[in-house]
Structure 1
Amino acid sequence: MSSKVTLFIGDLSIGGAERVTVNLANQLSENGHQVEVLVISQQGKLINELSPDVRLSVLPVNRMLWSIIPLAKHLRQSQSDVIIPMMAGPNILTILSRKISLTSPQVIVTEHINRTNNYHNELHDIFPKYLYKYADNVVGVSEGVTEHIKDWAKIDPDKVTTIYNPVVNEGITKISPQTPSEFKRNSKTILGVGRHTPQKDFKTLIRSFAILSKEYSEDVQLIILGKGECTSEYKSLAGRLNIREDVYFPGFVDDPFQYMSNADVFCLSSRLEGLANVLIEAMACGTPVVSTDCPSGPAEVLKNGKYGKLVPIEDPEAMKSALITTLENPISAEKLKKRAQDFSIEESTKKYEALFED
């Protein structure tokens, strides 16, 4: 049965939840639903990846916090059957807006992270605890996140479902044969990808690489894609450790999968994740991976180490050892690609559709 579905997020700049929004919107549209992506700001490179059949709408506000009344008006006008907000801010505002809109779309809130941490806005940690119970369904993007929500927000367990993020499709595997210019010949390449924020903890990866580069028998280089508040700090750290010439910061790139497919190892250094989409994307490219055993996603993705080494957070020595082991004894590309298919866009979308009310 076809539904009218709205996905609500701040914008479509490059990020994990933003890419999930695009992937889910496109697949729902392909499956025959009438789909709208609602944003606060019409910006971000991922806008260009929306299907022409997906409608992009913009609320007339400058900040997410001011969107309650405009969102309530939009709900009355759009008459959507289902609204799926992405991340805590949109989740909170959607629940409140529905209450004052005098409409009754099914609200499926999505939680992308464990909220008992120090890396998020305090209001985003407090309000979900008391408001998520008013949603029709709550989706956790990993089993760890789901169990946390049940315990932390005291929600009826029957309302909470685990649906892995829609990450993998054929586009990831159709990689350009061209090698990015940053890759040096005859060097092993370690890759990190993500926003440059304290949560992603690329400082540990840089420190680990500094130790590895002194101990490893071959030439190595480190490439860290992305940008953020910590970029200048990372560059300074690499300079102080005398490895600046071997560490590259290309920023955000149009085709991160090209970098993943050419890297010898992908490393996730985060202190906290919900699922770790980039880990799955690297595996879909056939690239061996190393990850911190942070809450909540990596251990699930890697099946407790079956598909890649897990190391404690903020431990450069342990990370260095895992990277060397993986460089010398990589897991086969086919095994990694097969595991990544468990996070396909098609399967994830089917599980969202199963929640839609008749």
Structure 2
Amino acid sequence: MKVAVVVSCLKLGGMERVAVNLADAFAHSGHDSHLMYLKDRKKQIQPRNEAVSLHLFDLKKWVLMTGIGALWFVMCKLLNVLFRKTFPHFFAYAQAIAFRYKLRQLEKKDGRFDLIIFRGQGTFGQIWPMRDKRFVFVCESVQNKNLYAGLSKWIFSSLYENRNVVCVSEGSKASFLDLTKEHQIHCNKVVKISNPNDYQMIRQDALQPIKAELFPPRPYILSLGRLVPLKNISLLIQAYHYARHHFGLEQDLVIVGEGKDREQLEKKVAELGLTQYVFFKGAQSNPFPWYKQADLFVLSSKSEGLGMVLIEALACGVKVVSTDCPGGVRDIMQGKLIQFLAEQNASSLAEKIHLALEPSPNKPLKDDIDKALINFDQEFIVKQYRQEFIL
């Protein structure tokens, strides 16, 4: 099978890592795998499997090189003033033409693709006017059905009407079906297929050393992800403060990731008198040693399409705690793992952190964790794509 995975860019982010993982997974299973990215930005990640072919489709540059395209760019900017958040949607009319041209050129050279998978609304939103039965749009997160206010029905209908849609968890699928019901959208197919993981690679990478200048001086609890409101790191900091004062928690808190909330979070740490216990380590290209050497991994998000960081932590043999947020965490936190789901408040999250670190006969057994991980194995995910979309 000849398959392409398409992503907006190759920055160091969760969705981008999943796109790379999926391209690697198809190659690992013996398929002719290609990874396309649509913006010429610095490549911070790329496929590990040498069999994956990498292609840059620099759509915006191609559009702006034409006089008509440059004029359309200006028009879209003006329309965005009148209709907020719509620039990408209008500009996609031009980018879809560019994508169609680039795709045809590539297929003339290398042959026709059997399946083309777009990861994330920010990716397929760039080419939505193009119609092709081979296209699959992957929804990575919980949907906000009124995201575009009065234009929501029009925009969501143009994105999803008569499309093949994959949701990465039962929670994200329920959210998506609620959106389609709200706006009376008919899709060709809506299925749940989770994100793939190469557990052998994860465990190998986890054995790499952390740079001496970055390594925490004491045992630590780990948080890993973008420092943005959705990830709710401020709640984790409050819970950590609560756990130190009420349960005598001794571990430091290490926060790996970067984002616009960092300065605000550092101020909060200082206000709570935690500066000597909480450490911000920035984004790390190889996060797996940080999981491996942690005493506990904590996810504090307000919502998660799936919660890949929980899967990665479990694969590294680390205990996990998570907020019981909308989306996919309950796809992962099953069996005895359910006891480590917290309400979205500081005291509940602190109690679950304390519970996870305390010796207890009710801790998850290896079988519980293996059952949680098997549904996210790369070979299983590739098999699901073949069953659903290749006749």
The two structures have a TM-score, normalised by structure 1, of 0.87
Q: Deviations over 1:202-223 (max 9, x none)?
A: 0000111112222333522000
Letter in 1 for 2:171: G
Pairwise mapping of residues 143-162 of structure 1 onto structure 2 (< 5 A)? 143-154=170-181, 159-162=189-192
SS in 1 for 2:59: coil
- Corresponding residue number in structure 2 for 1:82: 115
Which residue of the other structure, out of 261, 271, 276, is the alignment partner of 1:230? Answer: 261
Which residue of the other structure, out of 4, 9, 12, is the alignment partner of 2:10? Answer: 12
Distance 1:146 1:124 in 2: 22
Which residue of the other structure, out of 317, 326, 329, is the alignment partner of 2:359? Answer: 329
- Corresponding residue number in structure 2 for 1:239: 270
Q: 1:160 to 1:97 in 2, by over 3 A?
A: same
Pairwise mapping of residues 243-262 of structure 1 onto structure 2 (< 5 A)? 243-262=274-293
- Corresponding residue number in structure 2 for 1:357: 390
Q: Deviations over 1:40-61 (max 9, x none)?
A: 23433212x3422212111233
Distance 2:230 2:335 in 1: 21
Q: 1:13 to 1:160 in 2, by over 3 A?
A: same
Distance 1:322 1:26 in 2: 35
Q: How many residues align?
A: 346
- Corresponding residue number in structure 1 for 2:77: none
Letter in 1 for 2:6: F
- Corresponding residue number in structure 1 for 2:44: 45
The reply on whether 1:206 has 2:237 as its aligned counterpart is yes
The reply on whether 1:24 has 2:51 as its aligned counterpart is no
Distance 2:282 2:60 in 1: 26
The offset of 1:270, in angstroms, is 0.3
Q: 1:32 to 1:179 in 2, by over 3 A?
A: closer
- Corresponding residue number in structure 2 for 1:70: 98
Answer whether contact 2:12 2:285 (CA < 8 A) is retained.
Answer: no
What stretches of structure 1 of length at least 5 have no aligned partner? 99-103
The offset of 1:198, in angstroms, is 0.6
- Sequence identity of aligned pairs in percent? 28
The offset of 1:183, in angstroms, is 5.0
- Corresponding residue number in structure 2 for 1:101: none
Q: Deviations over 1:248-289 (max 9, x none)?
A: 111111321111111111100000110000011111111111
The two structures have a TM-score, normalised by structure 2, of 0.80
The offset of 1:97, in angstroms, is 2.2
Distance 2:281 2:140 in 1: 27
SS in 1 for 2:34: strand
Q: Which moved more, 1:197-206 or 1:71-80?
A: 71-80
Letter in 1 for 2:22: L
The offset of 1:304, in angstroms, is 7.1
Distance 1:129 1:216 in 2: 51
Distance 1:139 1:161 in 2: 5
Flag the structure with larger Rg: 2
The offset of 1:121, in angstroms, is 7.7
Distance 1:355 1:222 in 2: 42
Q: Which moved more, 1:58-67 or 1:345-354?
A: 58-67
Distance 2:186 2:157 in 1: 13
Q: Deviations over 1:293-349 (max 9, x none)?
A: 111111221027635511122x11111111011111363573464122321111111
The offset of 1:17, in angstroms, is 1.6
Distance 1:124 1:210 in 2: 43
Distance 1:192 1:9 in 2: 25
The offset of 1:176, in angstroms, is 1.2
What stretches of structure 2 of length at least 5 have no aligned partner? 62-87
- Corresponding residue number in structure 1 for 2:142: 114
- Corresponding residue number in structure 1 for 2:310: 279
Q: Deviations over 1:84-140 (max 9, x none)?
A: 111112223344123xxxxx451111011111279x7879966234431221x2111
